[in-house]
Amino acid sequence: MSMLQEFKSFAMKGNVVDLAVGVIIGAAFGKIVASLVEDVIMPLVGTLIGGVNFSGLAFSVGSATLKYGKFLQTCLDFLIIAWAIFIAVKLINRLRKEEPAAPAAPPKQEVLLEEIRDILKKR
């Protein structure tokens, strides 16, 4: 098998294609969530906390500038994004309500053993 055929076989496997679709949809969903946080939630949070923006906080040590404010802002953004995703997944799961699965039939061996047990009880 040539290298090109082997690569084609690998790339066209179901799992690889499913993964590629998942990554693309995940990237698009990430943009939606980032826009939700940056354009809707963060302005509201900024208004609630008096317009405080952490990204300007910094201090210098020698010639190095430690921008810990950007780190704090990134952590806050992460928490808001994680909360938004949690709420979205919770809503999606609520909308998807799956029917409870019927219990599986017991194996034939178990049924046979139960019949033997019942016969022995009768004696």
pLDDT of residue 64 exceeding 80: yes
**Could you give the CA distance from residue 7 to residue 18 in angstroms, rounded to a whole number?**
17
36-55: pLDDT as tens digits: 877 887 788 778 877 667 77
**Could you give the CA distance from residue 107 to residue 110 in angstroms, rounded to a whole number?**
5
Tokens of 57: 């906080």
DSSP bridge pairs for 65: 60
Q: What is the pTM of this model?
A: 0.48
CATH 2.10.25 fits 3-99, yes or no: no
pLDDT of residue 14 exceeding 80: no
DSSP bridge pairs for 66: 59
73-110: pLDDT as tens digits: 888 878 887 887 788 888 888 888 777 777 888 888 99
Domain layout of the chain by residue ranges = 3-99
- Give me the chain's average pLDDT, please: 82
So what's the pLDDT on residue 118?
92
